[in-house]
């Protein structure tokens, strides 16, 4: 099949590589003039790792990723352990693949290498999609440079501000959540050994604020994401903000949190607005399909946003193998993926409330009642995009 993918992020590249391997002719159009993923690190649980292994990325994950021993949920000031999810060997044995923490740049680069090895001419940069026209036998995309490209199928993997979504779902803008996110990358060598976090993904939970800390780049760098309730501001991963504001947001927090902040580069403190949408149940038309943030933008509070895009890509590629007309294949993809991703979106929203409880006793009770470990081990992590019945 002749396929166009709009967007060369993690989801778009995963979809493109999966489809080229199946013999499809794929062209990926990216609006950026130069390809270079930005942002924080990402976490890959077994449900996503299985897809990455299938694409040949095991060496990259082993070389640049970090395998945390657990998720730790701790009180922001005294470090009290509120809840724990075992990862490490336990996660791999139970769910069939390891759990990794990896810098988004490293994962994106590895996916790009896979696609280039399969088809070095698949990617075109500086191509902003503006208009989509769908007919009975093809799809046309008009780009900002005046060119028009035609294909049998269009895949929208162009993020939360997706142009393709407007053709499939609606043109409503995303909604600001009331939360913003700081992101920092700190060389571990700067932090005193006694103040370095354990080999875990640690969520520090506090009043109207929480912070996530974990290792990446083979353990050489510490990733810090701080999610604070603040007024609206720019939705941009490249917007720098004063270190003094970061310092104020985490005044009085645990010494491990303070050590990360105090050893960050003062001119490299990025902060962006967290936007959201209600989960959509419409993902496709007869010749257009959406995946990732274009259809289900997800708050980072379950560490599953990138993983869901990877799952989407793998299941969509498999759906196109089905012995049925294209519109039916896309509908089966939608019916299978929409409920699962909606649950992830909704539970991620709920985690925002849980992590930001003010009263310590209420927070303890909420974590006990929630039992996050049992929930995720029962339905989230066991999912296998490569073999699940669609």
Q: Which residues are catalytic?
A: 214
Q: For residues 89 and 258, what is the distance between their CA atoms, to the nearest angstrom?
A: 30
Q: Is residue 108 within 8 Å of 9, Cβ to Cβ?
A: yes
Q: For residues 96 and 77, what is the distance between their CA atoms, to the nearest angstrom?
A: 36
């Amino acid at each position: 099949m002749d396929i166009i993918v709009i967007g060369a992020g993690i989801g778009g590249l995963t979809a493109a590589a999966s489809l080229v391997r199946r013999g499809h002719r794929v062209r990926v159009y990216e609006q950026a003039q130069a390809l270079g993923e930005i942002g924080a690190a990402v976490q890959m649980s077994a449900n996503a790792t299985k897809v990455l292994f299938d694409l040949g990325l095991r060496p990259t994950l082993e070389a640049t990723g970090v395998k945390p021993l657990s998720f730790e949920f701790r009180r922001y000031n005294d470090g009290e352990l509120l809840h724990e999810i075992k990862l490490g060997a336990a996660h791999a044995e139970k769910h069939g693949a390891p759990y990794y923490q990896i810098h988004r740049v490293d994962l994106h680069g590895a996916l790009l290498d896979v696609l280039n090895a399969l088809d070095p001419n698949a990617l075109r940069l500086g191509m902003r999609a503006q208009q989509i026209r769908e007919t009975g036998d093809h799809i046309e995309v008009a780009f900002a440079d005046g060119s028009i490209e035609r294909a049998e199928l269009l895949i929208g993997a162009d993020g939360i501000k997706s142009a393709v979504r407007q053709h499939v779902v609606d043109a409503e803008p995303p909604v600001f959540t009331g939360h913003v996110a700081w992101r920092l990358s700190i060389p571990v060598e700067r932090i005193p050994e006694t103040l370095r976090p354990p080999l875990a993904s640690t969520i520090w939970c506090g009043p109207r604020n929480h912070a996530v800390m974990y290792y990446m780049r083979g353990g050489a760098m510490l990733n810090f994401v701080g999610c604070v309730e603040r007024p609206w501001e720019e939705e941009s991963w490249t917007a720098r903000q004063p270190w003094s504001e970061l310092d104020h947001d985490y005044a009085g927090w645990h010494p491990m949190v303070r050590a990360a902040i105090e050893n960050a580069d003062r001119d490299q403190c990025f902060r962006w607005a967290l936007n959201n949408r209600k989960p959509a149940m419409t993902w496709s038309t007869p010749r257009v399909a959406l995946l990732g943030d274009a259809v289900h933008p997800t708050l980072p509070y379950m560490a599953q946003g990138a993983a869901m895009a990877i799952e989407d890509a793998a299941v969509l590629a498999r759906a196109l193998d089905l012995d049925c007309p294209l519109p039916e294949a896309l509908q089966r993809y939608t019916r299978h993926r929409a409920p699962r991703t909606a649950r992830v979106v909704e539970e991620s929203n709920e985690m925002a409330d849980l992590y930001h409880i003010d009263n310590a006793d209420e927070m303890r009770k909420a974590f006990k009642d929630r039992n996050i470990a049992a929930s995720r081990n029962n339905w989230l992590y066991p999912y296998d995009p490569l073999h699940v019945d669609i």
